[in-house]
Amino acid sequence: MKMFKYLFTLLFAFSVVGCSDLEEEAKSQLDPDERTLDLETVETTISGAYGQLDARALHSRGLGLTLLLRSDMVDIGNPGTAAERIEHDQFTVSASNPLILNPSNPERSFWPRFYQVIRGANEALRELEVLEDQDAGVKEEIAARARFIRGWSYYHLVRLFGDVPFLDETTSTADASIAARTPVDAIYDSIIADFEYAKQWLPDSRNNRALPGKAAPSAFLASLYLTRGEYQMAYNEATDIINKAGMYNLALDPDYRNIFHAENTDFSLEPIWVIDFVGTNINDESRDYLAAFTGFFGQATYYPSGGWSVMVPALAVYENWDDGDYRKSVNFDAEAIDNNGNVVTYQNFSSLDGRNANRPHISKYTAMAGDLPQENTSGRDSHSNYQLMRYAEVLLIAAEAAAELGLTSEADQYINMIRERARNGDGSGAPSASPANISGATVADVLEERRLELAFEHKRWYDIVRRQMGDEVFGPGGFETELLGTQNFDPSRDYLLPIPPLEITNNPNLTQNPGY
């Protein structure tokens, strides 16, 4: 069968053919079994798939904007920002929203980017099939990397869109262009198989956590089971990681701030899997755009000029966070230094620039660049690491599953490990009294701890979806009501995003999600 024929470079090769992002273009005129392949070629292919991760279409910008703005933790700061962003914040998303798919610039949209990652993984797997014999475990380890990132991509797609076309290494070019929507449960079965394979063949740990070790697929399996409400499986998977923390070289970092510091995080044992930005601008890729989107204009706190005040927490998010909790100071900028060296409090941020919201801003992305020199004025060329999975989340997955299973004391234990770290701050002084240890933790308690511990790390929207909390968190008592008003959240529509209309036009077997 004629399969995907696209060799990724180590950077961001991207092509779209015939206006359909599921069509495949032959970059080589030969199938893998018709050309000479070596290990270097396959490594280039799989590296190209991983190279897509810091594309502006994914966490750095398109997907990152979408996940943060759709949560109840982040609101629009500058109401003059692009409509495609406001649509996600206000749940007025048009089916043709450019962050999902922009036909004019598909490389800047996350629907086609996910399929580019999947395509690279599938091509690597096809190449491995015909690669001559290697030392024991070499081909399996590469296949494990390919299957892990493919599973990770589909895990995003099914949570964002529901049923989506499922393409694997056996899918022909012709079949890909007319692929129907595969049921979510069938896709989950394939994701589980990919993660299980990766867990078997990946190494126990890696020094460079931009590459997955065994803990990465195991942690995402635990997350997947939690999403599906399979709490015993989630508990088993998460506690297995906890029990093997020494083998996997994992631990809570003593200082919560280190996890988000561009230099210190490289020495931390907490990250399980990260996107490692390298401070290089290649065709507007590999840039830390969330630093710009969450920063504020006219300040020199971290670098000249500052950011764009687009994604800003609602004031209630800040005010409802205990002042004694060290994590609050790590997550928020409540003061700025202007270009004259003066300190300005958040109530007067608009005095720096009229486009700034007078609210504390998110510091995880603006401050996380550390002391590295900046090559631009908004932090985009930073060396930040985005935490895709870290050990604290594994503890919280175990805590939530334990609470569901009635293992309350265990839920308490895992939450209190995280709270103890928060009380210790940076370790330079006496511990804080807050947050106090918990006793008798409920599921609601765990979800609240996730909201705080994992704030602004692209997790909250998925928690809202899997727990069906939209009516509650976006209602009159929610956080985000002060700027653009109460959200237009519709539970019959807004837990899923629209399938791009262009894909439906080009593929007669695709259908739209309800309400779009």
Q: Is the CB of residue 403 less than 8 Å from the CB of residue 291?
A: no
**Residue 508 neighbours by CB distance under 10 Å:** 9
**Is the pLDDT score of 18 beyond 50?**
no
Instruction: Say what the pLDDT of residue 483 is.
Output: 54
DSSP three-state, residue 7: coil
pLDDT for residue 375: 59
Q: How confident is the model at residue 11 (pLDDT cuts 50, 70, 90)?
A: very low
Q: In the prediction, which pLDDT does 482 show? A: 61
3-state DSSP of 212-277:
CCCHHHHHHHHHHHHHCCCHHHHHHHHHHHHHCHHHHCCCCCCCHHHHHCCCHHHHCCCEEEEEEC
Pick 1-134+466-516's CATH classification: 1.25.40, 3.40.50, 3.30.420, 3.40.1710: 1.25.40
On the 0-12 / 13-18 / 19+ scale of CB atoms within 10 A, 430 is: exposed
> 271 - beta bridge partners?
390
Q: Which two tokens stand for residue 46?
A: 């799989």
In the chain, what is the straight-line distance between the N-terminal and C-terminal CA atoms, in Å?
36
Angle (nearest 5°) at CA 365 between 224 and 304 = 165
- Parts of the chain belonging to CATH 1.25.40: 1-134+466-516
Give residue-wise pLDDT tens across range 420-434. 999 999 999 999 999
Q: Which of 16-20, 61-65, 222-226 has the lowest mean pLDDT?
A: 16-20
Residue 10 reports pLDDT greater than 50: no
User: Could you report the per-residue pLDDT of 463-513, keeping only the tens digit for each?
Assistant: 999 999 999 999 888 887 665 555 789 999 999 999 999 999 999 999 999
Residue 362 phi/psi, 5-degree rounding, is -75, 125
User: What SS3 class is residue 34?
Assistant: helix
* Tokens at 415, concatenated: 């939450």
In the prediction, which pLDDT does 381 show? Answer: 76
pLDDT in tens, 23-59: 344 344 445 555 568 899 999 999 999 999 989 999 9
Residues 6 or more apart in contact with residue 243 via CB below 8 angstroms: none
